[in-house]
Amino acid sequence: MGCGNRNAWRSYFKEEAQRFQSGFGSTGNRAFDAYREETLKRLEEEADEFQAFLKRLRDAKDKAEFDQFMAERKQVQPVQTS
């Protein structure tokens, strides 16, 4: 589940939530069931936010690398005269 797979965390949390819910179902304690459901939802939201953060980070890195490439390219090109 490294950063290379963009959906790894989201997929992991969804699979774990499904496994947890299907394996345990209702505990009979409505307060705990509500807490568990809220916690799983919060974790999924946090995973989505983290994925969005990673995308912004990758985009910023790509832009910085492209800007550096263009700056180096300008320095290498000879000046054209007419």
Owner of token pair 């499904």? 18
Q: Alpha-carbon distance 41 to 49, whole Å?
A: 12
Predicted confidence (pLDDT) per residue in 31-42, tens digit: 999 999 999 999
CA–CA distance, 46 with 42 (Å, rounded to integer): 6
Calculate what percentage of the chain has a pLDDT beyond 90: 57
Token pair listed for 16: 């774990």
Q: 79 vs 53, which has greater pLDDT?
A: 53
pLDDT, mean of residues 35-64: 95
The full set of domain ranges for the chain reads 8-71
26: left (phi over 0), alpha (psi -120 to 50) or beta: beta
Q: pTM for the whole thing?
A: 0.57
Given a cut of 70, whether residue 23 has pLDDT beyond it is no
